[in-house]
Amino acid sequence: MAIADLFTRPAAVPADGGGASSGAAAFGRRPVLAGAGLEDLFAWVDQVAALTQPDRIHWVDGSRAENEALLRQQVDEGKLIKLNPEWRPGSYLARSHPSDVARTEARTFIASAREEDAGPTNNWVAPDEIRATITPLFEGAMRGRTMYVVPFSMGAVGGPLSHIGVQITDSAYAVTSIGIMTRVGTAVVEQIAAGTPWVKTVHSVGAPLAPGAPDAAWPCNDEKYIVHFPDTLEVWSFGSGYGGNAILAKKCFALRIASVIGRDEGWLAEHMLLIRVISPEGRRFHLAAAFPSACGKTNLAMLRPTIPGWRVETLGDDIAWLRPGEDGRLWAINPEAGFFGVAPGTGESTNVAAVETLWGNTIFTNVALRPDGDVWWEGLTDDVPAELTDWEGKAWTPASGRPAAHPNSRFTVSAGQCPQIAPDWETPAGVPLDGILFGGRRATNVPLVVEATDWTHGVFLGSNISSERTAAAEGTVGELRRDPFAMLPFCGYNMADYFGHWLKVGQQLRFDRAPRIFQVNWFRKGDDGRFLWPGFGDNARVIDWIIRRIEGRVPAVDSPIGRLPRTDDLNLEGIDVPQADLEALFQIDRDLWLQETDLTEDFYRTFDGRVPAALYAELAALRYRLRATA
């Protein structure tokens, strides 16, 4: 059969193409457009089809009717459970195979031409070697399946900060998820036709079907690979259907590949939330923040301040692209269109805005199912249901002795449903940043908030973000899990060069217009193991001080590690934080910090001399200031 004969509509899709975007002849058809850029696209699709040998090829146009048809198809095939529309209209539950529940970081590779360009924090493999390994896996991998061609845009289609890509996949679950997380459709193909560069991504669950053979509810393969080719801007993912491994527009493109594009073009692709903070007087400030997992990133993205008069508008919860502007400022967009969030721990007491976002039109994965057809997970409500069906489809009660929802269970939902989403969150030009926050989960040493003295010092702070694996023993610093800039798993090139790129971007900014950089730590504990800071909505009190620093309205106290607040300048009205706790939140232990500088030097040495000299100078200056402290 010729490749062209495969471009037909799957039986589950209406033949009339109701609601299809202009430029597509009908659902599933090859777009009827002209343009030099399409020749490469069509040739690439034909090449992948010849390799993977699908039964059908479906071009995704991004229409609502098409999406609904694909969801119905998955319900009919037993791959999705439709939730009770009375409780969650337009929502579905997927249950993955127990072996396919998270990102496969150990099987994630950077295939740069030179090993040193990947650096010691990435799994490097030679491009020719890995192509020889994965190409046989993809041969015939889509037999019996539909190959979907998904053109998508990260950021508004055609926006000055946006980039586009095309994902080929044999997973309808991936297609409907990509449709939530990105801007999908014929408008993107029109950009390609006009000559806009694009990134190539290929995904297969690695489970070909023999004629007449039944399909699995969650097809996957025990052998898994996610391979990034930064020199040719490609991603190839095999064997997993899980979102982080199958939605290649997300971490794979928006961070690992985009970080390489940003390095070459002079901008930054970052694992950062993006918010607008509005003061009681109506002044607006834009902040980006990088936190590793389990450090409160989503909660800050949807913060509801406890200080009267303050408001936060959400612009993005996970990824931000930052580009220097002609005005000397740093401009930011959220390149995503949705939230792919961890469900457990998300509840009305921790993040009511997230709960309200999930009212409908959501794909849940590996959460529990209630008897009434709604979903539940640990932390959603204080009251635990008496009976559930757990994430593996088994009967569950509170006496079962196991979680009802998988700890990494997820929700995928449009960002536009967030009740506090900024009205202009999709503006193509982005927003100008006033501040950047870095934070980890530190029980010791790191103060509640510290301001960097300048951009270079801020890069130094970002390069040392870490969380403690274990509680610190007396007189020592706990074992640190390093996650510089919260980008350790997501930087597509040598992280030492990435530090240098941050320094170069700072040189493109006007010193008086560059965003101020701060480090925050909501998780410092007292000697009794108790958290010293209330957190959640009260984190707005730290944001309040940060904004007053940006405005120049309050002074700061110089310390060996940076600028600290005067405790009297923190707005603590309405909460009770004992003075002893306040003092402990900002205590600088000279000896423990000197131990930490040794750990920093050990970390820098892993990069074989590639860490910029400016950061070693910051380390030396920190040691000097600490030793000069009585």
- Catalogue the active-site residues: 295
H or E element that contains 290:
strand 284-290
Contacts 24+ apart (CB under 8 A), 128-137: 130/225, 130/227, 133/225, 134/225, 134/227, 134/236, 134/238, 135/51, 137/206, 137/223, 137/225, 137/238, 137/239
Helices 127-138, 36-52: axis angle to 10 degrees equals 70
CA angle 564–285–432, rounded 5-degree value: 110
The structure tokens 């060069």 sit at 497
Residues in the chain: 630
**Is the distance from CB of 143 to CB of 212 less than 8 angstroms?**
no
What is the distance between the alpha carbons of residues 404 and 393, in angstroms, rounded to a whole number? Answer: 10
Sequence-ordered list of residues with C-beta below 8 angstroms from that of 220, at least 6 positions apart, any chain? 96, 97, 99, 100, 205, 206, 207, 239, 240, 241
- Both tokens of 625, joined, read 């200031």
Q: Is the dihedral of CA 362, 367, 370, 371 positive or negative?
A: positive
What is the distance between the alpha carbons of residues 227 and 326, in angstroms, rounded to a whole number? Answer: 35
Helices 613-627, 455-463: axis angle to 10 degrees equals 90
What is the distance between the alpha carbons of residues 184 and 197, in angstroms, rounded to a whole number? Answer: 16
**Is the distance from CB of 31 to CB of 186 less than 8 angstroms?**
yes
What is the distance between the alpha carbons of residues 286 and 535, in angstroms, rounded to a whole number? Answer: 20
DSSP β-bridge partners for residue 225: 238
Burial of residue 114 (CB within 10 Å: 0-12, 13-18, 19+) is exposed
Write the DSSP string, 614-626.
Answer: HHHHHHHHHHHHH
**Is the distance from CB of 351 to CB of 299 less than 8 angstroms?**
yes
Helices 590-605, 613-627: axis angle to 10 degrees equals 160
Question: What's 32's DSSP letter?
Answer: -
- Both tokens of 353, joined, read 């805005």
The radius of gyration of the chain's CA atoms, rounded to the nearest angstrom, is 25
Question: What's 417's DSSP letter?
Answer: G
H or E element that contains 48:
helix 36-52
Nearest 5°: phi and psi at 438? Answer: -120, 145
What is the distance between the alpha carbons of residues 491 and 254, in angstroms, rounded to a whole number? Answer: 10
- Both tokens of 184, joined, read 């999908």
DSSP β-bridge partners for residue 290: 438
**Is the distance from CB of 186 to CB of 24 less than 8 angstroms?**
yes
Nearest 5°: phi and psi at 57? Answer: -125, 130
Torsion of CA 128, 134, 136, 139, to 10 degrees: -120
- Both tokens of 190, joined, read 């029109």
Q: Is the dihedral of CA 465, 469, 472, 477 positive or negative?
A: negative
DSSP β-bridge partners for residue 174: none
